[in-house]
Amino acid sequence: MLRFALFLLVANAVYAFQGPPPAAVPSTAADLARLIRESGMDPAECYRVRDLSFVKDDIKLYLNDGYLIFSKPVMGQRLSAIFTTDVEGGDGEVIVIPPTRSERQSLAAFTQSPNLDEHVKTILMILTDDSMAVLRTALEQQGEAAKKAPSAGALLAEHWDPVVANISGPMQMRLVADLWSVRPGKTGLALFVISGATLGNFDILSDARSNHRMIMRQRVERDGRDEINVWTDFLPRRITSKTSGDQRPLAPRPAPQPDWEFTLSNYRIDAEIANDLGVRAVTRVSAQIGPDPVRAFPFDIARNMQVSAVRIDGAPAELMRDESLRGRIRGGTEEVEFLAVSPVPLLPGSKHEFEFVHHGNVIATRGDGVYFVSARGSWYPHIPGQFATYDLNFRYPKRLTLVAAGDPVEDRIDGDSRITRRRMNAAVGAAGFNLGIYEKVTGTAAGVNFEVYGNRNLEESLRPPVTLSGPTPSPQLPTRARGARVAQPSMTIPFAPDPLARLSAVAGDVAASLEFFSGMFGPPVMKTLTVAPIPGGFGQGFPGLVYLSTFAYIDSVSRPAALRDAREQVFYSDLMVPHEVGHQWWGSVISTAHSEDEWLLEALANYSSLLWLEKKKGVKEMGAVLNGYRSELLEKDSQGKTYESAGPIVWGERLNSQPSTRTWRAITYGKGSWIMHMLRRRMGDEAFFKLLAELRRRYEFKLVTTADFQALARELRPKGLSAEGVDAFFDNWVYATGIPTLKLRYTVSGVAPAVKLSGSIDQSGAGDDFSMDAPVEVQFAKGPPQTIWVRTTGDDNTFTANLRQLPVRVVIPDDVLVKK
């Protein structure tokens, strides 16, 4: 995830040297924010406009007939403008055509049309990139046609000032940062808040700090809660394809790596954990300034961590944080952004030391000596997507054991405290910690020292309830009536699960999967891998530190009843460990920046766990898991639609807003694994495994996108698979939805060694434009089967093949995602 939240706009800034400084140059971010807040619309800059149009990347705005008013300048810049059609015959129009099929499908799901063409009542614009200059130029080109209308302006200002303040208020950090920027084209944003004639209120955001990503969204009320529907979210054609207007970029252009304004390295964190589990920390980190001067530095942190002071090079710096804002959920934790503001711009290329003092509650108790760490990668100020080394020093109550990512450097008792220090040998994207009263198993595998910890005590929620058996006791107290015999209920306490039952089994799988994956994907970057439990049904794999569900540590028979079906048991007993160990590569060595690419890391980690299962228990076991995913994808929701049809996998977290959150899970893990499996099947083992190893090698410590992965698959495709075939695979399985039904018919003629096989495949149930390479497996009495790939469309798809011997069976094999 790139750092610049789309719903919580905050950014970087640089001092703007634009001619002589205006009279009131604010000296602090707070002063500048106040100036922005109080600026208001400028009645002297109100125009009656006709046929004024301008284009911002893939957004076309037509201000056909109405008033256009600008805000008063702040530091010489006008930040907002309003177009209103509130005149007789007034009209305006907004047109957006998303560049990809999947995004047009997404837009259509909300607006019933794959393209946006909406007449508007008003457009409120907040423009901190170069769009304001474009709009002003368009206005100047109108010449006499645009007349100043100060009296209308006065009325409009009165009406709109509070509205603009309402919308820009929550963006104050971002606006401050953008105003100080010397390169608005790389740091600014264009936000259009639109009141549409038919669609109601919605907005369109183009954010230069997020690779110029465009996002259209609408606030809605769902079940009494305020929610946001993301209609579409895409990189504009300018970024993704060489020819503008391309409907579907056939040769995906790898997205550029982020253009950081500054980069972090060498974290040093001193943290103290009190008896009440409150965390106080001082985080120090080095920052290298990029090609432009920077004054405001945005960081992310967990909402329940408060930053109380910032120093830059030892001198106090200004801190700006907006508590009122809703943060962004990342990795299950709500994160917010804040600005560290230097009193002067820091010069390009210079290196500085940042120091943050912060405290908060990120550890909860789940039983005696059993804890839940909530802010696992966000308990300190950080920038998602950047890689740095960490030196972590903890002081905490001595009855506990604290573990963290990195190699152990120090571990000693000091009075009532224990001191644990870990240091990393390689740069990673995040550093977590965990703590408890532990048992441990250690060892070495693939050159990695691993430590697997388990809780000695059982968390409260897994303790068996006390149940009564025997005759139901009378609701009344048994009286001591003479001669009365009252049956005594017998109490039974079912066997309590042992929280360490599978500790050595887990350690065995950690070791074996480390070896297995190192052989396939190259060595992991961390020299120490620590695995420790977390209460709840999930796991999380951070670089060098895995949080493993406590369910994975207890015997299958002791797991809660809801987890006792075969699929859940395989998940906790066989797949969770290798999945999280897989994240040592997918998510640690390489990472992603955008929600549309996150599926890659999950699909790769999960498919890695399936490869491990295939090696450990055989291809049948792996097939059973894939079949389970198939059934889940084909399950129907309350509206009778299959989970799979909710949307393409690249919609990412947007799939969560579908009726069931199982949709996102089913698609990300289930379909994601199928995508990897079918790509393997289509490319062949050799080319596919080379693809995975090369992905790791080429994108080490970089951010990878779906387009990068597709481009690499094209590059490494085997003979017999065209580049167009790779694109068709991604178009249909990754960027679209559909699980077809295939019907195979065939005839065999001739005699060995000149046997002729001819047949056809009928495809149905996945839409007319769905097309796949369907495998036809020809099995013989002797020797391995032969696979013929047949490209399907809706209709008859015929094929022929010359065989050397008579086939025994000709089938579409099970390991392809079609309806069975």
Give the interface with Zn ion as residue ranges (CB under 5 A): 602, 605
Q: What is the largest CA-CA distance in the chain?
A: 111
Q: How far apart are CA 534 and CA 529, in angstroms?
A: 16
Buried residues in 797-809 as b, exposed as e (16+ CB within 10 A): bebebebeeebee
Q: Report in angstroms how near the CB of residue 255 gets to Zn ion at its nearest.
A: 22
Hey, what are 52's tokens? 């004024």
Smallest distance from the beta carbon of 664 to Zn ion, in angstroms?
A: 13
How far apart, in Å, are the Cα atoms of 429 and each of 210, 492, 659? 18, 49, 32
User: In the complex, what is the shortest distance from the CB of residue 653 to Zn ion, in angstroms, rounded to a whole number?
Assistant: 14
In sequence order, what E strands does 163-211 have? 189-196, 200-207
Report which secondary-structure segment, H or E, holds 628. helix 619-634
One-letter amino acid for residue 198 of the chain: T
Instruction: Report, in Å, the least distance between residue 540 CB and Zn ion.
Output: 7
Q: Closest by alpha carbon to 336, among 345, 325, 344, 347?
A: 325
- Helices (H), ranges, 489-597: 503-521, 566-570, 576-582
Q: Quick one: 218 or 609, whose CB is closer to Zn ion?
A: 609
Query: Judged by CB, which is closer to Zn ion: 36, or 605?
Result: 605
- Nearest Cα neighbor of 736 from 791, 671, 684, 678 is 671
Residue 604 · residue 591 · CB < 8 Å? no
Distances (CA, A) of 78 to 41, 126, 183, 188: 9, 9, 16, 13
The amino acid at residue 54 is F
Residue 165 CB contacts under 8 Å (≥ 6 apart), including other chains: 37
Q: Which is nearer to Zn ion, 189 or 605 (CB)?
A: 605
Q: How far is the CB of 602 from Zn ion (least distance, A)?
A: 5
Q: Cβ of residue 578: shortest distance to Zn ion, in angstroms?
A: 11
* N-term to C-term CA, the chain: 37
Q: Which is nearer to Zn ion, 64 or 706 (CB)?
A: 706
- The least CB distance from residue 647 to Zn ion, in Å, is 20
Q: Would you state the structure tokens that stand for residue 45, as one six-digit string?
A: 């800059």
> In the complex, which residue's CB is closest to Zn ion?
605
CB of 436 to Zn ion, least distance (A): 22
CB of 668 to Zn ion, least distance (A): 9
Tell me the angle at which helices 150-168 and 29-39 cross, rounded to the nearest 10 degrees: 140
- C-alpha 109, offset from chain centre: 21
Rank residues 196 and 541 by Cβ distance to Zn ion and give the closer one.
541
User: Residue 593 is which amino acid?
Assistant: A
For strands 305-312 and 315-321, give the pairing: antiparallel
Instruction: Rank residues 345 and 672 by Cβ distance to Zn ion and give the closer one.
Output: 672
Instruction: Give me 394's structure tokens.
Output: 């903890």
Smallest gap from residue 685 Cβ to Zn ion (A): 24
CB 391 within 8 A of CB 421: yes
CB nearer Zn ion, residue 283 or residue 540: 540
Nearer to Zn ion, 355 or 602 (CB): 602
Q: Smaller CB distance to Zn ion: residue 2 or 548?
A: 548
Q: Measured from the CB of residue 44, what is the shortest distance to Zn ion in angstroms?
A: 57
d(CA 14, CA 523): 40
Who's near 552: CB < 8 A, 6+ residues apart?
Answer: 502, 506, 533, 539, 572, 573, 576, 577
DSSP state of 738: -
Question: Could you tell me the smallest distance in angstroms from the CB atom of residue 91 to Zn ion?
Answer: 50
Nearer Cβ to Zn ion, position 307 or 649?
649
Output 71 or 608, the one with its CB closest to Zn ion: 608
Query: In terms of CB distance, is 325 or 655 closer to Zn ion?
Result: 655
CB proximity list for 153: less than 8 A, separation 6 or greater: 41, 42, 43, 44, 45, 46, 67, 69
